[in-house]
């Protein structure tokens, strides 16, 4: 697989693109089935079981999570005060990214990662597996609560390619933050506001990107609309400050309960976000490779995202101005 992935880039890209297309086809068929042959939770168990052995090939963040927890459980140091690079003799540094930064996430996520790190007993493979189990566990928890709210929403989340690739395969902690959001929304619907606030607080303690969801407690009629606008504004601000990353948009799945069709209507854009990995999968690395510089790769990535975003926008406008446009474009249907 190393030989295939690193030395046969054209075939790697063809396989990756084929997998993306197939995932979206299966997603489309499963979400639109009239009679479910399997429950969303049972399906998520199957998906999670396969993804347990997946390698985070599109991002090194997962390995950074592992090393930050290792600083606490193996070296007994505070990750907020020490960088991965401070332990320059550690062999795990060879696959760890951002070695010159202190811990960048909230304390809740650090506490969660200490569990699989302790269970790994300082050995990489068991630590890797336990981290994967933790991620999949939160994925299953989300499907479990979504299924209680809406079976359709649970299928959308359980089978969406963005969740599978960025959440389960690449293991971004946005999936865990999102899990706490959905759990908090569930208890909000059940009018258990204390529990709801508790889980939303846990989510914010992982990443501040979920902060806009506290607007669900607004008693105004525009409460749900405030969630949508505040999430979009937050994403825009993060993108301006950092970079356009596909996993940032996982937070939109927290809107499934309030806007059931919003994810379907953005499928073209999500597909484009995953295709935007083209320069990295096809030519390799995040730095300069062959005649591709870092800036050229970013430019290619941005062009792909913009093209698919425009196509998705045109698609939405066509639906809206069609004969039954307002009926078809049910963004605000609850």
DSSP-derived secondary structure letter, 171: -
Please tell me whether residues 115 and 170 are part of one structural domain.
Answer: yes
Q: Report phi then psi at 292, rounded to 5.
A: -95, 115
Any domain includes 253: no
User: Vertex 51, ends 49 and 52: CA angle to 5°?
Assistant: 65
Rg (alpha carbons) of the chain, rounded to whole number = 20
CB 135, CB 168: distance < 8 Å = yes
The two structure tokens encoding residue 13: 């890209």
Q: Please indicate, yes or no, whether residues 294 and 278 belong to a single structural domain of this protein.
A: yes
Same domain, 81 and 20: no
The last residue of one of the domains, among 247, 273, 293, is 247
Token pair 């395969």 is found at 169
Q: Quick one: 235 and 164 in the same domain?
A: yes
The answer as to whether 110 is a domain residue is yes
The model's pLDDT over 158-206, given as tens digits with 9 standing for 90+, comes to: 999 999 999 999 999 999 999 999 999 999 999 898 999 999 999 999 9
Q: Provide the pLDDT for residue 243.
A: 87
Structure tokens at 54: 């997946």
* 1 and 80 both lie in a single domain: no
DSSP, residue by residue, 109-142: HHHHHHHHHHHTTT-HHHHHHHHHHHHHHHHHHH
> How distant is the alpha carbon of residue 147 from its chain centre?
19
- How is residue 287 written in tokens? 């730095």
Which pLDDT does position 174 carry in this prediction? 95
Give the pLDDT means over successive 10-residue stretches in the chain (334 positions): 75 93 94 82 94 89 94 94 91 84 93 96 94 97 94 94 96 96 93 93 92 78 76 89 91 89 92 93 69 80 95 89 59 45
With beta carbons less than 8 A apart as the criterion, state whether 132 and 125 touch.
no
In a domain, 77, yes or no: yes
Q: Which domain holds residue 105?
A: 37-247
Partners of residue 289 on adjacent β-strands: 292
Closest listed residue to residue 65, CA positions, set 23, 3, 116: 116
Query: Is residue 41 domain-shared with residue 115, that is, in the same domain?
Result: yes
Question: Within this chain, do residues 41 and 28 fall inside the same structural domain, yes or no?
Answer: no
Number of domains in the chain: 2
pLDDT digits (tens, 9 = 90+) for 315-330: 988 887 775 655 555 5
CA distance 320 to 158: 28
Specify if 255 maps to a domain.
no
Closest to 200 in 3D by CA, of 191, 190, 252, 212: 212
Identify whether residues 293 and 227 lie together within a single domain: no
* Maximum pairwise Cα distance, the chain: 66
C-alpha closest to that of 192 among 227, 145, 254: 145
Predicted confidence at residue 253, as pLDDT, reads 94
Query: Which residues 6+ apart lie within 8 Å of 111 measured at CB?
Result: none
Mean pLDDT of the chain: 88
Backbone angles phi, psi at 57, to 5 degrees: -80, -10
- List, as one string, the DSSP characters of 13-82: HHHHHHHHHHHHHHHHHHHT-SS-SS-HHHHHHHHHHHHTT---TT-SHHHHHHHHHHHHHTS---TTT-
Report the pLDDT value the prediction gives residue 334, as an integer from 0 to 100: 41
Is the separation of the CB atoms in 279 and 9 below 8 Å? no
Q: Classify each residue of 246-255 as buried b or exposed e, where b means 16 or more C-beta atoms within 10 Å of its C-beta.
A: bbbbbbbbbb
Model-wide pTM > 0.85: yes
Distance, in Å, from the CA atom of 102 to the CA atom of 166, rounded to the nearest integer, reads: 23
- Per DSSP, the three-state class of 26 is helix
């Amino acid at each position: 697989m190393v030989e295939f992935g690193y030395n046969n880039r054209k075939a790697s890209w063809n396989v990756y693109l084929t997998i993306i297309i197939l995932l979206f086809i299966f997603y489309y068929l499963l979400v639109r089935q009239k009679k479910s042959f399997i429950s969303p939770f049972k399906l998520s168990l199957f998906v999670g079981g396969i993804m347990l052995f997946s390698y985070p090939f599109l991002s090194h963040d997962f390995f950074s999570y592992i090393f930050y927890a290792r600083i606490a459980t193996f070296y007994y140091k505070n990750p907020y005060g020490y960088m991965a690079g401070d332990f320059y003799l550690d062999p795990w540094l060879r696959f760890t990214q951002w070695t010159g930064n202190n811990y960048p996430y909230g304390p809740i996520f650090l506490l969660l990662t200490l569990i699989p790190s302790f269970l790994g007993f300082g050995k990489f493979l068991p630590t890797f597996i336990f981290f994967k189990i933790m991620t999949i566990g939160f994925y299953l928890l989300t499907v479990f609560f979504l299924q209680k709210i809406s079976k359709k929403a649970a299928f959308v989340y359980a089978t969406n390619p963005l969740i599978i690739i960025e959440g389960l395969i690449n293991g971004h902690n946005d999936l865990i933050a999102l899990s706490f959001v959905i759990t908090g929304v569930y208890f909000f619907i059940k009018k258990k506001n204390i529990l709801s606030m508790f889980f939303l607080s846990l989510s914010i303690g992982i990443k501040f990107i979920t902060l806009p969801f506290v607007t669900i407690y607004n008693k105004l009629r525009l409460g749900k609309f405030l969630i949508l606008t505040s999430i979009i504004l937050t994403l825009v601000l993060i993108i301006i400050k950092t970079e356009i990353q596909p996993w940032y948009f996982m937070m939109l799945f927290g809107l499934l309960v309030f806007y059931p069709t919003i994810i379907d209507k953005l499928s073209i854009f999500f597909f484009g976000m995953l295709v935007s990995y083209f320069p990295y999968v096809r030519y390799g690395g995040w730095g300069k490779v062959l005649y591709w510089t870092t800036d050229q790769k970013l430019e290619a990535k941005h062009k792909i995202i913009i093209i698919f975003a425009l196509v998705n926008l045109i698609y939405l406008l066509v639906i809206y101005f069609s004969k039954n446009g307002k009926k078809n474009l049910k963004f605000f249907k609850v």
